Amino acid sequence: MKYILDFDEVLFNTTALKAKMAELGVGEEERGLKVFERITELDPEFDFTSLIFPGALKFLTDHGADCIVVSSATSVTPENNTDLEKQRAFQMEKITRSGAHSLVHDVRVVGTSKREELQDLQSQLENQGEDMVFMDDREQYVREAQELGIKSIWMDRAGKGYVSNAEGVPIMLEFPRVGSFADFVKLVEGWK
């Protein structure tokens, strides 16, 4: 089994990074490679590796050779989405500083859609006789994977339950939902 994992809010506590930035007075608009140097300059003791969720760190330590990170370079904050190459560099630097890069088999940073990367991985892994499962915290990407016929899991760390659309209709009901890597491991073991 190959595990295709999103980075932000699945492996990495992005909310905590943003809180740290706010605490240090580093604005969201400073998104770029210098933001990491600025955080380190303002708090030399800060360790980016501490932002990997503990359960995710254990999972990567145990299964990293079977893990592929497919992460979007786009931000949920629209004003950060102005230069795709800079956004990709920022995301890759965040993954590297977190320590996740050294624990996984492969890291792929994409633009606004993961569909093409997922299709490439699906084809490659099927040719190798490998099964795969994809996990993300955002509806768009979980749906993209499901539309390709990839087992898809929604990481709901915040325990939101099921999200509702503009009409108040619950969505995401068709996806298995987990709130931690311990839940994820139990779910996958149940498939075997």
What is the per-residue pLDDT across 148-179, written as a single tens digit (0 to 9) for each?
999 999 998 877 666 666 676 666 666 788 98
**In the chain, pLDDT over 90 holds for what percent of residues?**
60
* Mean pLDDT of the 79-90 span: 71
* Contact (Cβ atoms closer than 8 angstroms) between residue 177 and residue 153: yes
Q: End-to-end CA distance of the chain, in Å? A: 10
List the chain domain ranges: 2-191
Residue 81 has pLDDT above 60, yes or no: no
Q: What is the pLDDT of residue 77?
A: 56
Residue 190 has pLDDT above 90, yes or no: no
Polymer length in residues for the chain: 192
The set of residues, in sequence order, having a beta carbon less than 8 Å from that of 143 and lying 6+ positions away, is 152
The model carries a pTM of 0.88
* Mean pLDDT of the 27-32 span: 70
Residue 101 has pLDDT above 80, yes or no: yes
* Contact (Cβ atoms closer than 8 angstroms) between residue 166 and residue 183: no
Averaged pLDDT score across all residues of the chain: 87
Q: What is the pLDDT of residue 164?
A: 64
- Please identify, in words, the CATH class of the domain defined by 2-191: alpha beta
Residue 82 has pLDDT above 80, yes or no: no
Q: Which segments within 42-157 are labelled E, that is strand?
A: 67-72, 106-110, 132-136, 151-155
For the ranges 27-41, 53-67, 71-85, 117-131, the lowest mean pLDDT is seen at 71-85
Q: Which residues on neighbouring strands pair with residue 153, listed in sequence order?
A: 135
Q: Under DSSP, is residue 119 helix (H, G, I), strand (E, B) or coil?
A: helix
More confident residue, 33 or 174: 33
φ and ψ at 86, to 5 degrees?
-65, -40
Q: What is the pLDDT of residue 20?
A: 95
What pLDDT, in 10s, does the model give residues 39-78? 999 999 999 999 999 999 999 999 999 999 999 876 555 5
